[in-house]
Amino acid sequence: MNSDFSPKLINNPLGDPGMMVEFLREQRALQFDLGDLSSIANGELLKISHVFISHTHIDHFIGFDHLLRVIFGRGKTIHLYGPENFITNVAGKLAGFTWNLADRYSESVTMEVTEVHADRLIKAKFKAIDRFRKSDEREEPFIDGVLVDEGGFTVRAAILEHRIPCLGFALNEKYHFNIRKDRLEEMGYPPGSWLNELKKCIYEGKPDEYLLQIPAGKNRSQQKSLGHLKKELVLISPGQKISYVVDTVYNEANKTRIVDLVRESDIFFCESPFLAEEEARGLERHHLTSRQAGIIAREAGVKKLNVFHFSGRHTFRTEQLVQEAEEAFRKK
Ligand SMILES: [Zn+2]
Ligand SMILES: [Zn+2]
């Protein structure tokens, strides 16, 4: 499928959970959960702009220190999202280190932290130059589950049950634009950075009358309207939807929330720690079984199911977990 986003799990399905979504046209990535990050190169970690944490059980948050170590001193602002009590969790992590030299760096790193509640978002900043003291605490409305809404995509969250609140996430690419290379040549337009500008204008919803400068060879350039260029050069197709759900219980109310969140995803990453026969265990631990993951995927009409976060007890039964999930998913 055409998409600017490429998702991958950060570990094998028995390892700590986490998913990275890379932007194919930018040096940028979104990270879902921070399990053990040792399999990811520093260069990849430096691309992360936003981190979405389902909940702060240790297997989902142990990578925070690793990420901080890599981004510290790089002048980045990183956005983190998590459930109830998340700001306290982040503050606690940061309080575990000594920062007396941090103010020597002019802009070493800033964390913009958002805590998701049913009726509101609580935000706070932690800046290295302030030795990571909490600042700028404020509240914003939480509307339609939207955490991030940028030109090209949104990230939504649903609050799910895991004996504690646990967030499920869905990333929606709004549209996908392809420049028709054949038309480019036909019309005598040169390739180049103006094409990025063209895409940016479309993402930002600029009006069709907006004029773009096109370089047309030696010392000449021409102006064309955005509407004209869209018609001549751009193919618009629906974007990709990628969803991520871990550590949650199977009951009617919770299932409805998950189905609503992940509906019609192109790819649905779903936990499946337990075998189909372990329903009682799943209920007790507030986790899904393989079959339940499959049922949810089927009801939500997703295109592809990718189960992971298998229990360590099933090291030698991973194929069975995949098979059971796939059977429930494909069942007519
Ligand atoms: Zn877990
Ligand atoms: Zn958990």
Ion ligand 2 — residues with CB under 5 Å?
Answer: 57, 247
| C-alpha of residue 313 to centroid of ligand 1, in Å | 14
Question: How far apart are alpha carbons 265 and 246 in whole angstroms?
Answer: 16
Neighbours of 240 (CB within 10 A): 22
| C-alpha of residue 177 to centroid of ligand 2, in Å | 38
| C-alpha of residue 102 to centroid of ligand 1, in Å | 33
| C-alpha of residue 247 to centroid of ligand 1, in Å | 5
**Closest ligand, as measured to the CA of 248:** 2
Q: What is the pLDDT of residue 204?
A: 79
Within this chain, do residues 30 and 102 fall inside the same structural domain, yes or no?
yes
| C-alpha of residue 32 to centroid of ligand 1, in Å | 13
Within this chain, do residues 82 and 12 fall inside the same structural domain, yes or no?
yes
> Is 150 within the bounds of a domain?
no
Q: What is the pLDDT of residue 43?
A: 96
> Is 119 within the bounds of a domain?
yes
Domain count for the chain: 2
Verdict on whether the full-model pTM lies above 0.85: yes
Within this chain, do residues 124 and 230 fall inside the same structural domain, yes or no?
no
| pLDDT < 70 stretches in the chain | 1, 105-107, 217-220
Per the structure, the complete domain to which residue 30 belongs is given by: 1-143
Q: What is the pLDDT of residue 110?
A: 94
| C-alpha of residue 87 to centroid of ligand 1, in Å | 20
Structure tokens at 216: 């047309």
Neighbours of 145 (CB within 10 A): 19
Within this chain, do residues 54 and 123 fall inside the same structural domain, yes or no?
yes
Q: What is the pLDDT of residue 220?
A: 66
The dihedral over CA atoms of 260, 261, 262, 263, expressed in degrees to the nearest 10, equals: 30
Within this chain, do residues 132 and 184 fall inside the same structural domain, yes or no?
no
Boundary-marking domain end, from 197, 215, 237: 237
> Is 219 within the bounds of a domain?
yes
Boundary-marking domain end, from 210, 237, 264: 237
| C-alpha of residue 17 to centroid of ligand 1, in Å | 7
Boundary-marking domain end, from 97, 120, 143: 143
